[in-house]
């Protein structure tokens, strides 16, 4: 488990987040990273302007 996953899991634990919400978050993150890979922009790379241009409303 990487540092990001550990931080997210700790946040969920502290907020007593339901398992269904945790699963939904995981699906959304996987979908977003797939989208970024399809756009040839790996997650975590790129300029702030680029990230804002592809943000959903």
Share of the chain above pLDDT 90, in %: 39
Mean pLDDT, range 11-18, rounded to an integer = 95
Of the chain, the percentage scoring pLDDT greater than 70 comes to 70
Using an 8 Å Cβ cutoff, are 38 and 29 in contact? no
pLDDT digits (tens, 9 = 90+) for 31-47: 988 888 888 876 665 66
Mean local confidence (pLDDT), 1-15: 89
Q: Annotate the chain with three-state secondary structure.
A: CCHHHHHHHHHHHHCCCCHHHHHHHHHHHHHHHHHHHHCCCCCCCCCHHHHHHCCCC
Tokens standing for 52? Answer: 């804002």
């Amino acid at each position: 488990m990487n540092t990001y996953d550990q931080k997210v899991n700790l946040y969920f634990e502290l907020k007593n987040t339901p398992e269904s919400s945790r699963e939904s978050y995981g699906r959304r993150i996987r979908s977003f990273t797939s989208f970024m890979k399809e756009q040839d922009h790996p997650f975590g790379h790129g300029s702030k302007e680029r990230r804002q241009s592809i943000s959903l409303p």
